[in-house]
């Protein structure tokens, strides 16, 4: 099967902003270095996300492959199944969230929510420079807490592998099928309701 970019584009009912149509989560990365200016640009996009009381509970630990030990420490936290494909990603980012509001030390129920929004902003901004991202829950937060001395007030949320896209053929066979598969989503009627639960909007 020949890979073409259009295979992964979202098949949408409505014409969406191209960023939404083009974003997807590759596992094959070319390994080419990403300029620090581009990295700073997408991190800044994250910082401009909305958050409850403008708390900005997100924090990012940025690892660049071959520069210091940050990338290696994040890689060590990632589970074996993810490590197999993550190894070529030139950037690994750990997103963490602050559990309490700085203004009054009360619990911030939306610390994960806000951090997820910031990660999404980062990913969409990166795409403008053709830098793709693949988020992972499959990592051990305890490894990150230990290696980076993360204070107990912060919780590791997600690891994001980022970089330029590689060729699907470079992946181990078990990952190639997903890399080439068409993407799918629930129908709008299954996720958007009106009047009562599950009455499609």
> Out of 137, 142, 191, 200, which residue is the one contacting ligand FMN (CB under 6 A)?
137
Least separation in angstroms between residue 196's CB and ligand FMN is 29
Range list of β-strands (E), the chain:
58-64, 91-98, 132-136, 154-163, 193-194, 196-200
Least separation in angstroms between residue 151's CB and ligand FMN is 22
- Single out the segment in contact with ligand FMN by CB under 6 A; choices: 40-48, 90-98, 131-139, 193-201: 131-139
Distance CA 83, CA 172 (A): 12
Distance CA 91, CA 113 (A): 23
Nearest to 111 by CA among 156, 61, 48, 74: 156
Is residue 117 a contact residue for ligand FMN (CB under 6 A)? Answer: no
Is residue 135 a contact residue for ligand FMN (CB under 6 A)? Answer: yes
* Per-residue binding letters, 166-195, with ligand FMN (x by CB under 6 A): -----------------x------------
Distance CA 198, CA 201 (A): 9
CB count, 10 Å around CB of 30?
16
- Single out the segment in contact with ligand FMN by CB under 6 A; choices: 37-45, 56-64, 132-140, 143-151: 132-140
Task: Summarize as ranges the residues that interact with ligand FMN (CB under 6 A).
Answer: 24-25, 82, 135-138, 158, 183
């Amino acid at each position: 099967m020949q890979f073409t970019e259009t295979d992964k584009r979202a098949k949408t009912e409505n014409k969406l902003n191209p960023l939404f149509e083009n974003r997807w989560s590759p596992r094959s990365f070319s390994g080419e270095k990403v300029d620090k200016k581009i990295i700073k640009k997408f991190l800044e996009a994250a910082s401009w996300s909305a958050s409850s009381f403008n708390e900005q509970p997100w924090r990012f630990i940025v690892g660049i492959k071959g520069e210091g030990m940050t990338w290696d420490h994040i890689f060590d936290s990632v589970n074996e199944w993810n490590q197999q494909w993550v190894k070529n990603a030139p950037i690994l980012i750990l997103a963490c969230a602050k559990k309490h509001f700085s203004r009054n030390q009360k619990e911030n129920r939306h610390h994960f929510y806000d951090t997820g929004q910031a990660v999404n902003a980062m990913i969409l901004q990166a795409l403008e420079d053709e830098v793709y991202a693949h988020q992972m829950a499959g990592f051990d937060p305890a490894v990150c807490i230990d290696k980076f001395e993360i204070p107990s007030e912060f919780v590791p949320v997600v690891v994001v592998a980022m970089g330029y896209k590689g060729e699907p053929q470079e992946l181990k066979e078990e990952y190639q099928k997903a890399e080439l598969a068409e993407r799918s989503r629930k129908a709008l009627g299954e996720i958007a309701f009106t009047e009562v639960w599950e009455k499609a909007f």
